[in-house]
A and B are shown apart, each in its own frame.
Chain A
Amino acid sequence: MAYVTTNTGLAATGVPRRPGFREKLQDALPKIVLAPSFVLILLFVYGFILWTIYLSFSDATSAISNTFAGTRAYEKLWRWTFDPVQNWHTAIVNIGIFAVLYIAVCMALGLFLAILLDQKIRGEGVLRPIYLYPMALSFIVTGVAWKWFLDPGLGLEQTLHHWGWTSFHFDWIKNKDRSIYTVVIAGVWQASGFVMAMFLAGLRGIDSEMLKAAQIDGANAFQQYRRIIIPQLRPIFLSAFIVLAHMAIKSYDLVVALTGGGPGTSSWLPSNFMYEYTFQRAQMAVGSASAVIMLMGISAIIVPYLYSELREKK
């Protein structure tokens, strides 16, 4: 679709007019402009991925090592995958719980809020930033606020006790089986507004004539949403999924700030694992291998999506 000069035509006519240097430069310009970015990505993303893969096969501990150690790191991880006591196992189980809940709840809540906000609400201009602002806060801030809020001795529980509801009990953040859910709560609080904005944008884009048609067809508000509108938000669901999935996979700071990985090691996520083993535990090879496995997991989700997304569009 772009204009690209071809000199084949000229050659065919035999007219002696070669494109000058300037013209050649003009033709190459788009690629020249794109090249720096692409090279940066190539080096600093794909190059580093290769590096990580390389390290994962070495015997690197606290420092980079060039000694080949075969698949030892992977064997370890593989073994740990099935040992419920191991941090890696915990991390994998947790990312499952976390990702599913985080993505599902964010989407459900985001969609719900967007639908509510789309009902020609008067104070929309005020409400929207209220739902959106948590996205503006860093994980450290979110962690500080929620850590405090959820602490049974300081936060919500204490407050409700103050107000007379003494039987109220909420100590998930101190409970090894529940702590990962508090990470979900804080994460959802932070990201759902952003998802809401995406859905709101999607809702605003729906043809109003379609809704009129549905009304005439006798669909009530609920049916309109369920049968007509929500199915049409499919692309938004996908984008939201991608955004949330990448945030879920990268969630690291939130865990550190909120639970510090605990109680015990019960709220670790794979990124915590990777970070810990690479930087703290002098097991760089294992850390790298876990990074490679994470990348493979991400690829399994993202690459098909990218493929279909980019292939469909002409």
Chain B
Amino acid sequence: MSNAASSSSQGAYTTLNRIVIYGLLAIFAVVYLMPLFVMLVTSFKTMDEIQGGNMLALPTNPTVAPWLKAWGGACTDGVCNGGIAGYFWNSIKMVVPAVLISTLLGALNGYVLTKWRFPGHKLVFGMMLFACFIPFQSVLLPMSTLLRYVNFGGQWLEANLGWNFGLPSPTVHLVFVHVVYGLGFTTLFFRNYYEAFPNELVRAAMVDGASFFQIFRRILLPNSLPIFVVTVIYQFTNIWNDFLFASAFSGGGDNSPMTLALNNVVNTTTGVIEYNVNMAAAMIAAIPTLFVYIVAGRYFVRGLMAGAVKG
């Protein structure tokens, strides 16, 4: 019975294999988690412990003070603008509409570019795709110059109609900017997804008498969940984390998104850099995106599989 031996040796071989694989995965997991771990433990330590102690050690007497400070007020001497708490809501107000609008527009564009092609659709798509690659720094000045006229427009409207339609609002500006510069990506994602979406379904709906929008709303949208997940995650992370546009267009102050506040906390240079507060603030700023990735991570890979990667 030679096969018994060979099969058992094969078994041993696979067991060894498994150990190596799991080992490697675990090591990488540790490496990837390390910065997060450090941030997390540091954020619960006192400054004394941080200065004296080991970066990786667990806090000996954990304190939530840094978190409270980061959240409620991160500077000393009582002259602060408060922590980043107030800015959380600013970020939400900006992110949610920006993500929704850019995703929806991306979906519509993807729909038109795959299911309602017209001569030149490739050029249009190519141009939208190329737009993903421009360095954003180079649009700051022209964009703000343009927004000046938007502001004027808003003022004029306010003077004449009594309502400015939100035109001079920094939040509106930020939403607008993020929508414009997110369009390339959302369109790309949806186009690739809808490219693989059966034409026959669209045709069936057409024969069934559905209109352009009905087809989109009743047939394509309900079947776009995977790519919606990918796009929303992508856009949400990018917009939430953006600092450049936030610093340029938020007008600063009370309208600033989270990242700006975080930057002020982190770059605040009191005598001692309060690492624990910095880390806590960084964690707070990252919580929504972390949450999104962890909760929707599975759908993310699935969504990528469903077409986004074909690029």
Binding site for B on A (CB under 8 A): 1-4, 26, 29-31, 33-34, 36-38, 40-42, 44-49, 51-52, 64, 113, 116-117, 119, 121, 123, 125, 127-142, 144-146, 148-149, 154-156, 158-159, 162-163, 189, 193, 197-198, 200-202, 204-205, 235-236, 238-239, 242-243, 246, 249-250, 252-253, 271, 274-275, 278-279, 284, 288, 291, 294-295, 298-299, 302-303, 306-307, 309-311, 313
Binary A-proximity of B273-288 (CB < 8 A = 1, otherwise 0): 0010011001001100
Nearest-Cβ distance from residue A193 to partner chain B, whole angstroms: 7
B293 touches A136 (CB 8 A): yes
B136 touches A250 (CB 8 A): yes
Which of these binds chain A: B25-33, B58-66, B75-83, B151-159? B25-33
Closest residue of B by beta carbon distance from A46:
B127
Please name all residues of chain B whose beta carbon is closer than 8 Å to the beta carbon of A30 when the two chains form the complex: 112, 116, 118, 212
Binding site for A on B (CB under 8 A): 18, 21-22, 24-25, 28-29, 31-36, 38-39, 42, 54-56, 105, 108-109, 111-113, 115-118, 122, 124-143, 145-146, 179-181, 183-184, 187, 195, 199, 206, 211-213, 237, 240-244, 259, 262-263, 266, 275, 278-279, 282, 285-286, 289-290, 292-294, 297-298, 300-302, 304-305, 308-311
Q: Which of A130, A139, A239 has the most CB of B within 10 A?
A: A130
Report the separation of the CA atoms of residues A4 and B34 in the bound assembly, to the nearest whole angstrom. Answer: 57
Please name all residues of chain A whose beta carbon is closer than 8 Å to the beta carbon of B195 when the two chains form the complex: 313
B187 touches A26 (CB 8 A): no
Report the separation of the CA atoms of residues A159 and B179 in the bound assembly, to the nearest whole angstrom. Answer: 44
Please name all residues of chain A whose beta carbon is closer than 8 Å to the beta carbon of B21 when the two chains form the complex: 116, 119, 121
A189 touches B289 (CB 8 A): no
A33 touches B135 (CB 8 A): no
Given known A138-B241, A198-B309, A252-B244, contact A130–B135 (CB-CB < 8 A)? no
Closest 5 CB pairs of A and B: A239-B311, A138-B241, A30-B116, A136-B289, A201-B304
Q: Which of B29, B136, B278, B286 has the most CB of A within 10 A?
A: B286
